[in-house]
Amino acid sequence: MQRSRPEKMLEAMSELTTIEVADPVPLAGALFEQCFGSPMPDFPRHFILQARLAESAPLSLGYVHFTKVDNFYLGGGMCIDTRAFRKLPRSARTQLARRGGAAFSMLSAAVARLDDCDAVFGYVGNRLAYRIDLAAGFEQTRYKHLIVYWKTPLDAAERVRIVEAANRCGPF
* The pLDDT of residue 85: 87
The pLDDT tens digits for 113-171 are 999 999 999 999 999 999 999 999 999 999 999 999 999 999 999 999 999 999 999 89
pLDDT at 7 > cutoff 80: no
State the average pLDDT over residues 1-11.
39
CA distances from 105 to 78, 95, 132 (A): 12, 12, 10
CB 47 within 8 A of CB 20: yes
The pLDDT tens digits for 52-74 are 877 778 899 999 999 999 999 99
Give the sheet arrangement for strand 72-80, strand by strand. Answer: 15-21, 46-52, 59-69, 72-80, 119-123, 146-150, 139-140
Residue type, 72: F
* The pLDDT of residue 13: 42
Residue type, 56: S
* The pLDDT of residue 12: 41
* The pLDDT of residue 9: 38
* The pLDDT of residue 11: 41
The pLDDT tens digits for 76-119 are 999 999 999 888 888 778 878 888 999 999 999 999 999 999 99
